[in-house]
Structure 1
Amino acid sequence: MPATPWNLPPIVKVYEALGAVGDGRVRIEDARRAIVTSSDGSKNYEVEMSADGREIASNDNASYWRGYLGYPAIAVLIERGFYRAPANVSDALAGVAWKELNTKFRNDYAQTIAEVEKHVEQSGHDPDAVRSEADAVLSFLRELNPVRGKRTRPPAERPKPKAPRR
């Protein structure tokens, strides 16, 4: 049975991936596994990939349920050097509160990107360079044409608050 290719993500997921790299939220565990921490620090996503980067499994919600390659897997591809993003672009997207913005704009990604581009410009970076780099990452993903690896774990859950002691 042939492997199923990943669908391309919305461009905002590329921005998120570049931001995760800029924040240092990607931790390479070994030759196959990596952990990516969410922007608010509440979740850790597990990404497994083949040595050539073509077979990828990730337990973020987008990858697990939606069928497109989520930002954690894209961030791992960048961190492992399959794609070389300029440091100034990842730096421009560092510190963005993605979860907060996506919630605020009810996952209207165009509004999220517009808000992020304001942040990028206010921090002295070039939004056009960031946009151009995000497009280049999408082109790289299209060319790589990664396939889905075996789903090993369900999506990460937020830790449940502890009950107060009596």
Structure 2
Amino acid sequence: MFLFLFTIINLVFLTLFLIFQSPNQLPPSSSPTTNIIKDCSTKNDILAIEYITLNPDPPIRGHALNIKAAGNLSETVDQGSYVDVLVRLGLVQLYKGKLDLCKEVEQNFNLKCPLKKGIHKIDSDVDVPKEIPMGKYTVDAQAYTKDGHRIACLKAETVFKL
């Protein structure tokens, strides 16, 4: 059960945090959302997401998933920042918790806080386990600084079929 839960959280988590991986110029025209991930951030949030793309979109059990994303941090993100995550399968709450943003990016992406302000871009591949149970998954993720300023907000919804 933990394996598929971790994968669902990672779909949103990877998209949110891989944006910090490497600075680059943003492309002039990009689609800001995917079929399953929506940016619910506001202009007051620290991370302005320029685009998110998934291939395939939506993800398919047992297949590789390519994630591309870019965004602009308006300020540096320090230790103590966190992510509130809620995952549901249908109406059933599978996970609700607070994740240490810096710990997660260090463990999963070999990055260290502080995450510098500026433009960042990612292009990464992940494997989607074939063991993920069928059903409709929803994920809400909101990242905050240690002082409670919102960094970004993402919502994801996907259905895994046979």
TM-score (norm 1): 0.29
Q: Rg bigger for which structure?
A: 1
Q: Going by fraction, where is helix more abundant, 1 or 2?
A: 1
Q: Scaled by the length of structure 2, what TM-score is found?
A: 0.29
Which structure's residues are more often strand, by fraction? 2
